[in-house]
Amino acid sequence: KNQVEQSPQSLIILEGKNCTLQCNYTVSPFSNLRWYKQDTGRGPVSLTIMTFSENTKSNGRYTATLDADTKQSSLHITASQLSDSASYICVVSVGNSGYALNFGKGTSLLVTP
């Protein structure tokens, strides 16, 4: 069964601190992995997308890593800002079924002053 597990479920950090969110998956065959940021009451916004051969990808203060061997990904947020408070969703695509996406339940991040 294809599954995407994210941890922690929620996280509170002080403004300016760094944090790392985790995503473990059992999706097979793997196509790509995407991280999205979803503000409350809004649709998800793409942060990064990585294929099998990519180990790391950055988007400003967001850096995603991928270990296809262990089927793990992480999203590192540097120098957090209050606006980073949101839900971060890991989405893994199945390789041979076109549009099949497997969503994690997300990590709810709260950045406090």
Scanning 11-19, 36-44, 63-71, 77-85 for contacts with other proteins by CB under 8 A, the matching segment is 36-44
Q: Does 58 bind other proteins (CB under 8 A)?
A: no
**Six-digit token string for 111:** 């950045």
Pick the closer one to other proteins by CB: 48 or 80: 48
Binding site for other proteins (CB under 8 A): 32, 34, 36, 41-46, 49, 89, 91, 99, 101, 103-106, 108
